Amino acid sequence: MVVRYRLRAILIPLLLYAVSGGVAYYFMYHAQHGNRGIETKAALKQQIFELERDLGELRSDREDWERRVAMLRTDNVDRDLLDERARLTLNRLHRNDVVIMTGPGAN
């Protein structure tokens, strides 16, 4: 009887500590690695940084294209740009033109 009492006195607190430690470990693990954890937050911040950089590049490209399209409007046509676009579209060159070959897709 004394052995059972001492065994219960040792095992019950030990079991409670083990269960509470397991629960604490579960929450700490998911706070670090879970869907809303610290590592996920850092990865999302990196993704936001990269997307903002891409957005800046796309905005500058858009401004460039808007400027080029504005030069082709009927009220003020830029003759050089119009000539460049016509030659590129028609794949024609003047016999005195010098062609410099660059990589594919380089305009």
The total of structural domains in the chain comes to 1
Residue 64 lies in a domain: yes
Residue 29 lies in a domain: no
Could you report the per-residue pLDDT of 14-50, keeping only the tens digit for each? 999 999 999 999 999 999 998 889 999 999 999 999 9
In 3-state terms, what secondary structure has residue 78? coil
By residue range, what is the domain housing residue 65?
A: 49-95
Instruction: Dig out the tokens for 60 from the structure.
Output: 């500058």
Could you report the per-residue pLDDT of 45-97, keeping only the tens digit for each? 999 999 999 999 999 999 999 988 887 776 777 777 778 778 888 877 777 87
Residue 18 lies in a domain: no
Three-class secondary structure assignment of 96-107: CCCCCCCCCCCC
Residue 60 lies in a domain: yes
Residue 59 lies in a domain: yes
